[in-house]
Chain A
């Protein structure tokens, strides 16, 4: 295989139209669509006494107002996406609530009108009579269970799971040193710049439903809509066009609008669209990261971890549409790149009266990483060794792979690291970080992580060489900015020996490729990337076979290069790929584009029917890749930071990332993923938080108060790539989409603890939080 494009900083195919304002996002699609609004509950927990929609329906310009009783599926609970035997009390919401609302923002009615402004006017006229109920808003309150989120879920516990490797009780008992910790991580929000949107049209003539959806998983939405509307999948098309960032929460099955918009389009016989506004995005879209960990660690006098016991509660929110994938990931990822010979982890997934949770970039890992890294820093402080040294002493070594952590993984297997070189990550990061800068109130932050990427079950790809010699390729998964159209083209171009600019990629359009899972869990490059590789190789093999007939050569002696199939060693003996594409389809009529060469009346060397048994026309193939297990990426972040002792302002002086995502397809794209991930991590660590009050109201549902960082808050980041190929896929790649964000909370906490000399056990932080921690530390008489 040539590796001409793989590994190169190929500039993006996506950019031109996006830069010219010619991108096509869901809200850009119009076609005379009616616009819509969801009426949402202002209460976090309330019984609905009545819903009065008469006045709203009478408003001029309003086409329909729907409540649960107007819907054929109004009494149906929405599906649990990922069921699990430990999810004993799984609950999902209905499309529109009619009896009880369990979070502020839950949808109760749907208004369709000629404009969004009129729909909003009408929504104000929908009169819902609520009887407020007691609110459960933190995971701790949920665990106390003074009140229940669901009457029939005792203790607010949706799921409980205990796993143990070794014998933790015995190992703790015999450990020379022990420490206990209480760690708390708050909810955060992905906040992509494009909020969500859905557009739908029903064609009576074709009996076909077409849906544009800003989803990360159009194939699943299509499957679900087909079931719900009783249509064959061939009559449902779902397209994720350009999507303005995803970061996890753009996958659900379903958000209410994903059913209501298609339903209204069928019902009203008009295209209908719904575009979420920023205010509702804050409560309507899934969140993540709320966890509280009670940890005990046993270690020896040299700082070797002997046993770790972690008992945590997970803030699941009001419903469990996504199953218990998040706490399972946390449980699997707490040990990170370190040897933990005895490990026990118990979690309870708790219901709260807040927006449901589902993976947000990092998905259970930033909190897992925080637990382990904070624990190691405390061990280092206790025995008086350097924080790098304590890590060095506990890291899994390069000759220990595959390494079995001994607990369960999200794909149903156990956590088994496939490859890596963790000591090299640490040493390289320390070297790049350099010496402590001069000055006061400066701290060093350090954090390491592993990430199970590229989970299955599978993705597929279709690759076709056109008679023009250009190549089209398609996969089911959509892009939200990850440069799929560029990196898939690199993979395909290498296999077909063509210029990368001659490969045009489509993703996330079920009309072009109907099978697949979605873009999440740092899985695109591993699953779809390898599927592209597989399909392109099938096309290459087919091209060799056809060309072999034509060139009277053995296929094994042929290669694809320079846009042609040619004999190895004698590049002048060859046939252009375009001509091979022509020959691949024996036609009756010559219709231009070189097809005269392929009519059945052209004298052929080959005997037998024009299309032999087992042959298919067209220089194309469909291939799939299904990984045997996760490919485990890893990395080390290190930083120098300064905290102003008066204002508690954070200044990041230097931030270094050394990461290993296996073979890098396009370093420019990978660096973009890392830089963006780190920025999102910094936002989540020091600027952003979701401030719920005791009534379950989100107090800061705007960009004025939810403080996403601007460029002025984000430092330059230095990145180094280390490549330990994954043995589990042909390209040797590992995922990188989430990597940047995972250790940032741990790194910032570590640096601030070092700078201020006060213990940091919670996330997020802020100047106010640091002021309060410092003030209480200096006035406290305790010996903590």
Chain B
């Protein structure tokens, strides 16, 4: 379980990073590494180039913007968890980030990394979707805003292009009431199924290839969840209905 060979790059600016991403074939961005490094150690990921963005200065800010909170690419999940700004503007994000793995993982893992990784069972993409947030992607071609609704394309897939760097995620102020509930086998594991409530909006995770918006009155309608060792499609739908009731009872 040692990583395969790759060429390592450690740019110190976003522009330099974008230049690398534009010129390199088969490059992968390394941020917190809490998902990518296991894949490398298992040799399940074999990028020719690894672009480590951790040397970029000033890309770890968490700041208020447009009545919401912006989280930059290198802001660690633990920093978001501890942020008073996040707690006051978007307490849903504070609550959600505490469900991501464990503190030691969150000390290194990034919010933007979780979103870019787009694990269908992951909390933060669903939070972004429920709130109607967006991400900002930068490339040599320029900067663009991608709304959460158009970001998640499939299992571990987003609409971020290979030459683009996700520089920031923006979460609107969380409406009231809000809630996030998930069912996982062990504390900190990826969810078998989960629900995010932001006001009257409901987003689900773990039950489709991407996080999805759903109708709170009939949350499982149209869903065709996948099956794995810990949950069948039927059990996932059962859980999602139970968790939705819980979220909307609050």
> Which A residues contact B (CB, under 8 angstroms)?
115-117, 120-121, 277-279, 646-647, 649, 687, 689, 691, 699-700, 702, 704-705, 707, 709-710, 712-713, 766-768, 771-772, 775
Top 7 closest pairs, chain A to chain B, by CB: A712-B187, A117-B2, A277-B1, A646-B242, A691-B229, A647-B183, A771-B235
Interface size class of B (residues with CB under 8 A): 20 to 34
Minimal Cβ-Cβ distance residue in A for B42: A279
Q: Given that A699-B229, A700-B229, A766-B230 are known contacts, is A687 also in contact with B2, CB under 8 Å in the complex? A: no
A121-B5 in contact (CB<8A): yes
A687-B186 in contact (CB<8A): yes
Q: What are 17 A-B pairs at a CB distance below 8 A?
A: A116-B2, A117-B3, A120-B43, A702-B42, A704-B38, A704-B189, A707-B185, A710-B186, A712-B186, A713-B187, A766-B230, A767-B183, A767-B192, A768-B230, A771-B235, A772-B232, A775-B234
Looking at the assembled complex, report how far the CB atom of B223 sits from the nearest CB atom of chain A, in whole angstroms: 17
Q: Kindly identify, within residues 180 to 216 of chain B, every residue whose CB is under 8 Å from any CB belonging to chain A.
A: 183, 185-189, 192
Q: Residue B65 at the A interface, CB < 8 A?
A: no
User: Which B residues are in CB contact (< 8 Å) with A705?
Assistant: 229
B187-A768 in contact (CB<8A): no
User: Which A residues are in CB contact (< 8 Å) with B188?
Assistant: 710, 712
User: Which A residues are in CB contact (< 8 Å) with B187?
Assistant: 710, 712-713
Whole-angstrom CA separation of A116 from B38 in the bound complex: 17
Contact with A along B12-27 (1 / 0, CB 8 A): 0000000000000000
User: Which B residues are in CB contact (< 8 Å) with A775?
Assistant: 234
User: Which B residues are in CB contact (< 8 Å) with A116?
Assistant: 2
A279-B230 in contact (CB<8A): no
User: Which B residues are in CB contact (< 8 Å) with A115?
Assistant: 2
Q: Residue B176 at the A interface, CB < 8 A?
A: no
Whole-angstrom CA separation of A699 from B231 in the bound complex: 14
Contact with A along B205-245 (1 / 0, CB 8 A): 00000000000000000000000011110110011001000
Q: Kindly identify, within residues 1 to 59 of chain B, every residue whose CB is under 8 Å from any CB belonging to chain A.
A: 1-5, 38, 42-43
Q: Kindly identify, within residues 59 to 86 of chain B, every residue whose CB is under 8 Å from any CB belonging to chain A.
A: none
- Centre residue among A699, A704, A768 by max chain B CB count within 10 A: A768
User: Which A residues are in CB contact (< 8 Å) with B189?
Assistant: 704, 707
Whole-angstrom CA separation of A775 from B3 in the bound complex: 45
Whole-angstrom CA separation of A689 from B229 in the bound complex: 10
Whole-angstrom CA separation of A689 from B230 in the bound complex: 10
B186-A709 in contact (CB<8A): yes
Whole-angstrom CA separation of A649 from B229 in the bound complex: 16
The listed residue (B2, B38, B183) touching A649 by CB distance below 8 A is B183
The listed residue (B2, B234, B242) touching A647 by CB distance below 8 A is B242
Minimal Cβ-Cβ distance residue in A for B185: A707
- Centre residue among B43, B186, B229, B234 by max chain A CB count within 10 A: B229
B239-A647 in contact (CB<8A): yes
Whole-angstrom CA separation of A624 from B78 in the bound complex: 57
Whole-angstrom CA separation of A279 from B239 in the bound complex: 31
Whole-angstrom CA separation of A649 from B183 in the bound complex: 9
Looking at the assembled complex, report how far the CB atom of A298 sits from the nearest CB atom of chain B, in whole angstroms: 39
- Centre residue among B5, B188, B230, B234 by max chain A CB count within 10 A: B230
Whole-angstrom CA separation of A712 from B184 in the bound complex: 12
User: Which A residues are in CB contact (< 8 Å) with B1?
Assistant: 120, 277-279
Supplied contacts A120-B43, A772-B232, 20 more A-B pairs, CB within 8 Å: A117-B2, A117-B3, A120-B1, A121-B5, A278-B1, A279-B42, A646-B239, A646-B242, A647-B183, A647-B239, A691-B229, A699-B229, A705-B229, A710-B187, A712-B187, A712-B188, A767-B183, A767-B185, A767-B230, A771-B238
